[in-house]
Chain A
Amino acid sequence: MTGAVLSALLGHWRRNPLQLFTLLAGLALGTALWSGVQAINAEARASYDAAAATLGEGSYGQIVARDGGEIGQETYVALRRGGWLVSPVVEGRLGPVRIIGIEPLTAPRGVGPLGLGEQADLGAFLTGEGQIFGRADTLAQLAETGARLVDAPDVAPATAIMDIGLAQRLLGREGRIDRLILAPDQPLSRPALSTLAPDLVEAARQDGGDVARLTDSFHLNLTAFGLLSFVVGLFIVHGAIGLAFEQRRPMVRTLRALGVPLRRLIALMALELVGLGLVAGLAGVALGYAVAAALLPDVAATLRGLYGADVSGQLTLRPAWWLSGLAIAMGGTAVASAGALLSLARMPLLASAHPRAWAMARGGVRLAVLAVALLALAGGLALWGRGLLAGFAMLAALLVGGALVLPPLLGQALRVAEGRATGVLAQWFWADTRQQIPGLSLSLMALLLAMTANVGVSTMVSSFRLTFTGFLDQRLASELYVSASDAAQAADIVAVAGAGVKAILPILSVEAKAASQPVEVYGARDHATYRDNWQLLRSFPDVWDRLAQGEGVLVNEQLYRRGGVDLGALVAVSPRLTLPVLGIYGDYGNPLGQVIVNEAVFAGQFPDVVALRFGLRVDPSEVAALRKTLRDQAGVPESAMVDQAAIKALSLSVFERTFTVTTALNVLTLAVAGFAMLMSLLTLATMRLPQLAPVWALGLTRRKLALLDLVRAVVLAALTGALALPLGLALAWALLAVVNVEAFGWRLPMYLFPLDYLRLGGLALLAAALAALWPAWRLSQMPPVQLLGVFRNER
């Protein structure tokens, strides 16, 4: 019996291949975007973890120089001889590759590549030409050093690990160390760090690493996109399953009348859904892999540019990811079909097999109340909420509330239009449109969410770009930036460049703590470059004069917000000096707090710090010549000189990458929403025949009816878009003013981009029209006998 029932059930899909396709495609598309985004996030997190694990950053404390500079090797030996169990690390870059030198004998367990595999051979690692561990693509980027290259997939991307001796040699930093890893078990007693090495400080252990924290909001953005697409996909699936079950009611009644137990029938239908979910899930995961593989290089470039986080550009297939993709597809199927199965279970044996109930029975009032409550909650959170979590709760309330409020608003708008309509045809058009709202509401909500996300995210990204490029223009006022390797070279640079440039601006900085935040203290020379170019967010009058007199400091927005230091508040520049805040400046693209003091004040507080970086003011046409002079006469390598144009180009290319990712995700969500609409319209098309047939019989041609259908879809999309715009702007505001401030510590001004919105609106209308085109064309081509049949079969 089971076989016969199953074949009867499956027969439905054979007769309705389009429905089957809708179901599978909806689920697969939703799963694809969700799992694609998850794959990208998983890859990035794995990269951060690998980086942290390689360096023991997450597991062990660190000791660093108080001024953030390097540590002499003799200091390391002095600490060891004093009983401190520390292990030295030297770091640097050779072109695109991050070089890390470790000392394997003293490194705590789990640090470095030894133990990564069978290839570890201490003798080969330490002596002779040495060994370099890294991923194959990283090793390929290294110049020939004579060292044996060892392919180690566990090493973080773009990172090469080797013995400290080899690393110091390659980086040209013999005898220098960047930081010390502190072993977890220290001997019973040892002298204080301040006694042995007063210039060093213990840095707190950072769980998960800075990078993971910094990039969290970026990944949250991606996750939100993925979830949104998945929800849109579920709308489609829900529609398809609901319709299929409705249409099978007569069959179910017949089967049950023939003696099939309800329990078995439900079990078989559930089994059928599991099979479909599995197929769609697999297709979705495969598709998601393709999406992720296509986007990952751009995402990786963005992360590297924005946060300096190295993320592998290559996707690894992780079993957990496959399984979670399948699981969410199955879960989605369950959610989407629960209602249909439940109503089937409750169906009386001899109930009417009337399939019209489906499109009408969406209860409106309760949902409308819920929608208003959610929007109120969003407003409340915007006004009084604190913290990142509140920010995201607000986003969720805003989006869900906005989606739920759509059907009642549409109904209201159509009712108004109907009231104002003159002429019977117009009245019928509006009434008929309103009557279709319940059947279309899910796909319209999907369209609303897609458009809202589009408006919100593109406004945020565009605002960020506009602000950031403006900020770069102000901040990168010097034409050429030069880094010296040591004080002697710094003196050479000043001597060599001194003659030919308009000004040399030394960039002095140390790491410190202010307002209980880690900050960088900068010493700035009093020069017109700063006065002319820097725009302060807020300041006292005569701020530049007072700064030049050493009467106060400037702080960046991050420190102002996180440390709560407003204008006039006192900031401890060093343990010996506290100065008031004279001004606050915007500082984008940097997670840390900053304090700027006058050059003389800086020299008084940090006499040991010499400027190793310089901004050179020079006529733009002379930059190339100056580079050559510095290279030939001061021995400055090309890699230590960056001109303004190059920095700007680099920053902008990062944004182009971000845009590519955002645009791709926008188009994909919009496409999914358009597909949802197409499927809803196809579903409605057959069911609406009883309503259309009388109008046709009254003399309206099929062509005219089809045209009206097309217009209707566009009108509905336009009305949806009208709601999506304010909702999207609210989303953008929340991202810029709430989420960004919490995540990065800066608040970006919001810019509006009406042309973009117009284009998006046009795109949405086009999507709706395209979605409506095929059903309308089918209507225009419908044989009259089918319409007549409505009257013949009238029940």
Chain B
Amino acid sequence: MNVKLALAVLLLLPLQAAAQGFAGLGTDAEGFTTPDPATVLEFPADHGAHPDYRIEWWYLTANMTGPDGTDYGLQWTLFRSALAPRDGYGWDTPQLWMGHAAITTPDAHFVAERLARGGIGQAGVTATPFAAWIDDWTMQGDDFDTLRLTASGPDFAYDVGLTVAGPLVLHGQNGYSVKSAAGQASHYYSQPSFKLTGTLTLPQGEVVVTGSAWLDREWSSQPLGADQTGWDWFSLSFDSGDKMMGFVLRGAKDYTSATWIGADGRTEALPDGAFTATPLLEHRVAGRTLPVEWRVQLPAKGVDVTVAALNRDAWMATSVPYWEGPVTVSGSHAGRGYLEMTGYDD
């Protein structure tokens, strides 16, 4: 899933986590369109922006390996947040954009953030040809299957190419993903099968990498229940070729959801409770305590694995801070993936 973050609005509104969920995602959907289970996603149009929804993101994570066998992680995210349910031209538009980029190595984590107003061309997304950008950070290609991804920060940069190796995956019910027992939901699909080649620029120099990437697309207007304070999200790619996505929304009562993606490309949505994640080891980072090692179980598919962070300090010290980093998988299945944890207050 990736009920990832929203945005700049929150930079300045006091974060009332208890009342409004993590980063204001539990606020009312007043005036905005709300997700509808009857909606049929259409591509390539739905790769583009949906300004009548409050929040939306293009969220890519990648696991990579260097020439010497070192593992790396990469993140490229573009968030859209609307102050009002309309688009517009010039400074008048209520559409705000936020970009997060990161590279994780076994012993370092590089982060950068960008903010921009819509309406003046500084940031935005077009469906055909596909382009998502904020400042000099871009994810673009002639279509959605072959993309070039760039980002840079004060101490890092990357420039990688992505080629699709599998079909799009619609989560939940044809892309309608329920987020709480009260019925909050989002439109949510993924492209979990990008092949990646490219170059990372680190303080030590350039590193040529190859690997795989996972792109999440999600939009909604009120994705969290008011009592939900954060989530733990896993995207795992097993050596067998199978993949799975699973999340726990922490609230008065935890809500879980998962999607199984078989090596043959067939997907299966699993209901609340089918997926469980239990913390095994906690770690202190940025003044908070977070689980950096998990026992993840999906009995329906015979999954019982230990998920461990490649770098326990993969803290995103951005306007809305969270933990996001590459993980290794061992146990019933071996593999790697990405872990995201939000709503852990200090």
Q: Give the segment of A116-124, A324-332, A648-656 that binds chain B.
A: A116-124
Instruction: Give the chain B neighbours of A82 by CB distance below 8 A.
Output: 136
Instruction: Give the chain A neighbours of B152 by CB distance below 8 A.
Output: 83, 187-190
Q: B112 touching A80 by the CB < 8 A rule?
A: no
Q: A126 touching B112 by the CB < 8 A rule?
A: no
Is A663 close to B, CB under 8 A?
A: no
Nearest CB of chain A from residue B18's CB, rounded to whole Å: 19
Q: A77-B121, A114-B12 are in contact. Are A188 and B201 (CB under 8 A)?
A: yes
Q: In B2-19, which residues have CB < 8 Å from any A CB?
A: 8-9, 11-13
Majority secondary structure of chain B interface residues (helix, strand, loop or mixed): mixed
Q: B157 touching A188 by the CB < 8 A rule?
A: yes
Q: A168-B91, A185-B154 are in contact. Are A190 and B12 (CB under 8 A)?
A: no
Cα A722 to Cα B194 in complex, Å, equals 95
B115's nearest neighbour on chain A, judged by CB, is A105
Q: A187 touching B115 by the CB < 8 A rule?
A: no
Q: A165 touching B116 by the CB < 8 A rule?
A: no
Is B59 close to A, CB under 8 A?
A: no
Cα A120 to Cα B9 in complex, Å, equals 11
Q: A106-B115, A106-B116, A122-B11 are in contact. Are A81 and B153 (CB under 8 A)?
A: no
Choice from B112, B116, B156, B157 contacting A105 with Cβ under 8 Å: B116
Q: A187 touching B121 by the CB < 8 A rule?
A: no
> Could you mark each residue 122-163 of chain B with 1 if its beta carbon is under 8 Å from any beta carbon of chain A, else 0?
100000000001011000000000000000111111000000
Q: A105-B116, A187-B136, A188-B153 are in contact. Are A123 and B9 (CB under 8 A)?
A: yes
Q: In A491-543, which residues have CB < 8 Å from any B CB?
A: none
Q: B133 touching A81 by the CB < 8 A rule?
A: yes
Instruction: Give the chain A neighbours of B13 by CB distance below 8 A.
Output: 121-123
Q: A185-B154, A187-B153 are in contact. Are A123 and B83 (CB under 8 A)?
A: yes
Cα A81 to Cα B133 in complex, Å, equals 9
Instruction: Give the chain B neighbours of A114 by CB distance below 8 A.
Output: 12
A174's nearest neighbour on chain B, judged by CB, is B90
Choice from A74, A121, A175, A185 contacting B12 with Cβ under 8 Å: A121
Instruction: Give the chain B neighbours of A77 by CB distance below 8 A.
Output: 120-122
Cα A106 to Cα B97 in complex, Å, equals 11
Is B94 close to A, CB under 8 A?
A: yes
Cα A187 to Cα B84 in complex, Å, equals 32
Instruction: Give the chain B neighbours of A643 by CB distance below 8 A.
Output: none
Instruction: Give the chain A neighbours of B122 by CB distance below 8 A.
Output: 76-77, 80-81
Is B36 close to A, CB under 8 A?
A: no
A: contact size bracket: 20 to 34
Instruction: Give the chain A neighbours of B84 by CB distance below 8 A.
Output: 127
Cα A190 to Cα B83 in complex, Å, equals 32
Nearest CB of chain B from residue A465's CB, rounded to whole Å: 47
Cα A105 to Cα B113 in complex, Å, equals 11
Q: A187 touching B117 by the CB < 8 A rule?
A: no
Cα A576 to Cα B117 in complex, Å, equals 41
Q: A80 touching B136 by the CB < 8 A rule?
A: yes
A186's nearest neighbour on chain B, judged by CB, is B154
Instruction: Give the chain A neighbours of B9 by CB distance below 8 A.
Output: 122-123
Q: In A288-304, which residues have CB < 8 Å from any B CB?
A: none
Cα A166 to Cα B91 in complex, Å, equals 8
Is B96 close to A, CB under 8 A?
A: yes
Instruction: Give the chain A neighbours of B120 by CB distance below 8 A.
Output: 73, 76-77
Is B46 close to A, CB under 8 A?
A: no
Is B345 close to A, CB under 8 A?
A: no
Nearest CB of chain B from residue A787's CB, rounded to whole Å: 84
Instruction: Give the chain A neighbours of B91 by CB distance below 8 A.
Output: 103, 126, 163-166, 168
Instruction: Give the chain A neighbours of B30 by CB distance below 8 A.
Output: none
Q: In A32-77, which residues have CB < 8 Å from any B CB?
A: 73-74, 76-77
Cα A166 to Cα B116 in complex, Å, equals 17
Cα A244 to Cα B47 in complex, Å, equals 92
Cα A127 to Cα B90 in complex, Å, equals 12
Q: A105 touching B154 by the CB < 8 A rule?
A: no
Is B282 close to A, CB under 8 A?
A: no
> Could you mark each residue 70-110 of chain A with 1 if its beta carbon is under 8 Å from any beta carbon of chain B, else 0?
00011011001111010000000000000000010110000
Instruction: Give the chain A neighbours of B201 by CB distance below 8 A.
Output: 188-189
Is B239 close to A, CB under 8 A?
A: no
Cα A558 to Cα B291 in complex, Å, equals 67
Cα A85 to Cα B122 in complex, Å, equals 11
Q: A80-B116, A106-B115 are in contact. Are A189 and B83 (CB under 8 A)?
A: no
Interface-centre pick from A106, A114, A163 (highest chain B CB count, 10 A)? A106
B153's nearest neighbour on chain A, judged by CB, is A187
Instruction: Give the chain A neighbours of B153 by CB distance below 8 A.
Output: 187-188
A125's nearest neighbour on chain B, judged by CB, is B12
Choice from B8, B92, B157 contacting A187 with Cβ under 8 Å: B157
Q: A189 touching B157 by the CB < 8 A rule?
A: yes
Cα A166 to Cα B84 in complex, Å, equals 17
Instruction: Give the chain B neighbours of A121 by CB distance below 8 A.
Output: 12-13
Q: A121-B13, A123-B9 are in contact. Are A83 and B136 (CB under 8 A)?
A: yes
Instruction: Give the chain B neighbours of A186 by CB distance below 8 A.
Output: 154
Instruction: Give the chain B neighbours of A174 by CB distance below 8 A.
Output: 90
Q: In B90-110, which residues have CB < 8 Å from any A CB?
A: 90-92, 94, 96
Instruction: Give the chain A neighbours of B155 by CB distance below 8 A.
Output: 188
Q: B117 touching A127 by the CB < 8 A rule?
A: no
Instruction: Give the chain A neighbours of B96 by CB distance below 8 A.
Output: 105, 126
Instruction: Give the chain A neighbours of B121 by CB distance below 8 A.
Output: 74, 77, 81
Interface-centre pick from B117, B135, B156, B201 (highest chain A CB count, 10 A)? B135
Cα A164 to Cα B91 in complex, Å, equals 8
Cα A121 to Cα B201 in complex, Å, equals 37
Cα A85 to Cα B157 in complex, Å, equals 15
Nearest CB of chain B from residue A124's CB, rounded to whole Å: 9
Nearest CB of chain A from residue B204's CB, rounded to whole Å: 13
Q: A122 touching B12 by the CB < 8 A rule?
A: yes
> Could you mark each residue 313-353 of chain A with 1 if its beta carbon is under 8 Å from any beta carbon of chain B, else 0?
00000000000000000000000000000000000000000
Cα A229 to Cα B207 in complex, Å, equals 71
> Could you mark each residue 757-783 of chain A with 1 if its beta carbon is under 8 Å from any beta carbon of chain B, else 0?
000000000000000000000000000
Q: In A165-187, which residues have CB < 8 Å from any B CB?
A: 165-166, 168, 174-175, 185-187
Q: B154 touching A165 by the CB < 8 A rule?
A: no
Instruction: Give the chain A neighbours of B116 by CB distance below 8 A.
Output: 80, 105-106
Cα A185 to Cα B201 in complex, Å, equals 17
Q: A127 touching B136 by the CB < 8 A rule?
A: no
Cα A74 to Cα B201 in complex, Å, equals 29
Q: In A703-728, which residues have CB < 8 Å from any B CB?
A: none
> Could you mark each residue 620-656 of chain A with 1 if its beta carbon is under 8 Å from any beta carbon of chain B, else 0?
0000000000000000000000000000000000000
Cα A126 to Cα B91 in complex, Å, equals 8
Nearest CB of chain A from residue B90's CB, rounded to whole Å: 7
Nearest CB of chain B from residue A100's CB, rounded to whole Å: 15
Q: B90 touching A83 by the CB < 8 A rule?
A: no
Q: A105 touching B117 by the CB < 8 A rule?
A: yes
Q: A165 touching B135 by the CB < 8 A rule?
A: no
Nearest CB of chain A from residue B150's CB, rounded to whole Å: 10
Q: B117 touching A103 by the CB < 8 A rule?
A: yes
Q: A127 touching B154 by the CB < 8 A rule?
A: no
Instruction: Give the chain B neighbours of A103 by CB distance below 8 A.
Output: 91, 117
B133's nearest neighbour on chain A, judged by CB, is A81
Q: In A686-741, which residues have CB < 8 Å from any B CB?
A: none
Q: B94 touching A187 by the CB < 8 A rule?
A: no
Q: B8 touching A165 by the CB < 8 A rule?
A: no
Instruction: Give the chain A neighbours of B94 by CB distance below 8 A.
Output: 126-127
Cα A190 to Cα B112 in complex, Å, equals 15
Cα A13 to Cα B46 in complex, Å, equals 93
Instruction: Give the chain B neighbours of A106 by CB distance below 8 A.
Output: 115-116
- Report the 3 A-B pairs with minimum CB-CB distance, sorted nearest first: A165-B91, A83-B136, A187-B152
Q: Which residues of B contact A (CB under 8 A)?
A: 8-9, 11-13, 83-84, 90-92, 94, 96, 112, 115-117, 120-122, 133, 135-136, 152-157, 201
Known: A80-B136, A126-B94, A165-B91. 5 other contacts (CB 8 A): A74-B121, A83-B136, A123-B83, A187-B136, A188-B155
Can you sample 7 A-B contacts with CB below 8 Å? Answer: A76-B120, A76-B122, A122-B13, A186-B154, A187-B112, A187-B152, A190-B152
